[in-house]
Amino acid sequence: MKNNLLVIKDALILFIITTILGLLLSFTKIITDEPIKTAQINALNNSYRQVINDYSSSDDITRKVLDESITNSKVKLINCLKVYNANNETIGYITLVRINGYGGNIDVLTGFDLSENITGIEFPNDLSETPGIGMGITSNEFKNSFVGKNISNIKSVDTLTGATISSTAVKDAVSFSLDIVKNAIQID
Amino acid sequence: MDNNKFLKTILNGLFYENPTFVLMLGMCPTLAVTISFFNAIGMGLSTTIVLILSNLIISLLRKIIPDKVRIPSYIVIVASLVTVVQLLIQAYIPSLYKSLGIYIPLIVVNCIILGRAESFASKNNCINSIADGFGMGIGFTMAISLIAILREFIGNGSIFNIILIPNDYQIKIFSLAPGAFLVLGIIIAILNYKNNNKIKSDEFSCNNNCLNCSMNRITKGDE
C-alpha cells in the first residue's frame, strides 16, 4: 500500500513540474508571436531587396500566372510578385520556386527586370545541401553568374564542379522562373 | 575553500574531464557542426548558455525531484529551456537565429546536458553547478572549435569562409563524416599519449566510485 502512495507522489511531482513548464512555454510563445512575425516579414523584404535593389512594394500575381502550358514536373511555383519601386512604377518581377536538390528542397528567389533579364537570385529558406560541396550554390560567385542572363543564354551558366545535382537544380529552377515571367509579362 | 572548488570545477570541465576529448559526450553535434569554424563557435556558445541554465535549474530543484522520475524531469526541463531560448532568439535577435537556427533544437539531444545534469547538478549546490556548466560548455566550445579549424582548413582550405588554399589542394574528405572521425581520433590519441600515467583516478569528480555510479543505475534498473 505504501508503494502505491510513493508512486502516486512521484507521478504528482512530475505532473506539477511538467504543468509549470508547459505554462512557461505557452507564455513565452504568446509574447514572442508578434516579434517573430515581424522579423520574418523583415527578412522576406530584405531578400526581395537583395534580388531587386529598388524593391519597395509588390502585388501577388501567383494565381494569374499559373498556366497549364508551363507546368514543370520538377519545379513548383510558390509565389510570383509584380514589383514596384518607391514611386509605384513597375520595375520588374520576383518569383519563388521550389525544386528538389541533393539533400532536400531548394527554394530559389529570382528577380527580373522588365526586359526579362535576371537581376539576382537568393536562397531565402534553409538549405540541406552538403556543406562545402552542394552549399557552394550560396557563394556570391555562383549567384552572380546568373545576373544579366535571360531565356536565350541561361544554358551558358556553369554548374559547380563536384556539385552537379545541387547546381543543376538551381539552373532548372531559374529556367522555369524565366518561363513564368515571360508568361507574366505577356498576360499583363 | 568554496572558491577553490568553484575554480577546480571550471578547470575540470575545461581540461581534465573535457566533455569531447575525455568524457566523449555529445559526439553527434561534434561531428556535424565542426565542418565550419564559425558554426562550431556558435553551437558551442549556445550549448554553454543552455548548459549553465539547465545545471542551475536542476541544481535548484535537486531536493524536489524524486529519484525515480529524475530522467523524465531532466529531459522535460532541458527541452522546455531550449524551446524558450529558441523562441526568444527567433523573436529578438533574428540575425543570430538565421545563422544558428537549425542547431538550437539539436542542443536538447546533446548528451552533455543530460550527462552533467545527472552526474553533477543533481548532487551539487547552485554555485558549483554554474561553474560546472560554464567549464563543460567552454571546454566543449574549445574542443569543437579546434576540430573545426582543422577540418575547415584542410578540407575546405578556408578559415571563417575566407578561402586560403586553392581548390586543387583541398582534401575534401575532411569536410565529410570520415574526416570528422579521423580528426577526432588523432587529437584524442595525441592527448592520451601526452597524458599517459599522468591522470590519477582520484582526480575524477565522481571519485571513481563505479559501483554506485549513477550511469550504472540506469542499466541495472531500479530496485
Average the pLDDT over A68-95 and give the result. Answer: 87
pLDDT digits (tens, 9 = 90+) for B123-174: 999 999 999 999 999 999 999 999 999 999 998 888 887 778 887 888 888 8
- The complex scores an ipTM of 0.71
B80, B90, B92 member nearest A24 (Cβ): B80
Contacts of B84 in chain A (CB under 8 A): 24-25, 28
Contact B174, B150 (CB under 8 A): yes
User: Which residue matches cell numbers 514536373?
Assistant: A73
Q: E-strand spans in chain A?
A: 57-60, 75-84, 90-100, 105-113, 118-122
**Grid coordinates standing for B55?**
545545471
Say what percent of chain A tops pLDDT 90: 49
**Which of A13, A21, A29 is the closest to B87 by Cβ?**
A29
- Inter-chain touch A17–B73, beta carbons under 8 Å: yes
Q: What's the pLDDT tens digit per position in B82-136?
A: 999 899 888 988 887 877 777 788 888 888 999 999 899 989 999 999 999 999 9
Residues pairing with B162 in the sheet? B159
pLDDT of residue B1: 54
> A10–B155: do the CB atoms touch at under 8 Å?
no
Contact yes or no for B68 and A10 at CB 8 A: yes
Among chain B residues, the shortest Cα distance to A15 is held by B73
In this predicted structure, the answer to whether residue A136 has a pLDDT above a threshold of 90 is no
Reply yes or no on whether the pLDDT at B53 is more than 60.
yes
Cross-strand partners of A110: A95, A121
Q: What is the pLDDT of residues A98-122, one digit of tens each?
A: 999 998 899 999 999 999 999 999 9
**What does the block give as the cell for A174?**
531559374
Helix (H) and strand (E) counts in chain A: 4, 5
The answer, yes or no, to whether residue B42 has pLDDT greater than 90, is no
In this predicted structure, the answer to whether residue B36 has a pLDDT above a threshold of 50 is yes
> How far apart (Å, rounded) are the C-alpha atoms in residues A96 and A102?
19
Bridge partners of B78, per DSSP, are none
- DSSP lists the bridge partners of residue A81 as A60, A94
Residue B217 pLDDT > 70: no
| For A138, nearest residue in chain B (alpha carbons) | B161
Q: What is the pLDDT of residue A25?
A: 95
Query: Quick one: pLDDT at residue A162?
Result: 82
Please return the burial class of A75, using the count of CB atoms within 10 Å of its CB with bins 0-12, 13-18 and 19+.
Answer: buried
Question: What span, in angstroms and rounded, lies between the C-alpha atoms of B74 and B54?
Answer: 9
CA distance B167 to B165: 7
* pLDDT for A174 beyond 60: yes
Q: Looking at residue A143, what is its pLDDT?
A: 92
Q: What is the pLDDT of residue A186?
A: 84
Confidence class for position A135, pLDDT limits 50, 70, 90: confident
Per-residue pLDDT tens digits for B167-195: 788 888 888 889 999 999 999 999 888 87
Residue B103's pLDDT is 77
pLDDT(A61) > 60: yes
- Which backbone phi and psi does B142 adopt, to 5 degrees? -60, -40
B66 vs A10, A24, A32: nearest CB:
A10
Across B29-55, average pLDDT? 89
Does the pLDDT of residue B66 top 80, yes or no? yes
Kindly determine whether residue B61 and residue A17, on different chains, have CB atoms separated by under 8 Å. yes
- For residue A91, the surrounding DSSP H or E stretch is strand A90-100
Contacts of B76 in chain A (CB under 8 A): 17-18, 21
Kindly list the strands in the beta sheet with A118-122, ordered across the sheet, starting from the edge strand earlier in the chain: A57-60, A75-84, A90-100, A105-113, A118-122
Q: Which of A17-21, A51-55, B157-161, B199-203 has the largest mean confidence?
A: A17-21
> Chain A: which residues have CB within 8 Å of chain B?
9-11, 13-14, 17-18, 21-22, 24-25, 28-29, 32, 35-36, 39, 42-43, 126, 130-133, 161-162
Going by pLDDT thresholds of 50, 70 and 90, the confidence category of residue B221 is very low
Q: How many CB pairs under 8 A join A and B?
A: 66
Collect all residues of chain B within an 8 Å Cβ-Cβ radius of residue A132.
35, 155-156, 172, 175-176
HSE at residue A93, side-chain half, CA atoms within 13 A, is 24
pTM beyond 0.80, yes or no:
no
Residues contacting B63, CB < 8 A, separation 6+: none
pLDDT at residue B223, rounded to an integer:
42
The residues pairing with A79 across neighbouring beta strands, listed in sequence order, are A96
Q: Residues in chain B whose beta carbon is closer than 8 A to a beta carbon of chain A?
A: 35-36, 61, 64-66, 68-69, 72-73, 76-77, 80, 83-84, 87-88, 90-92, 94, 97-98, 101-102, 155-156, 167, 172, 175-176
For chain B, the average pLDDT equals 85
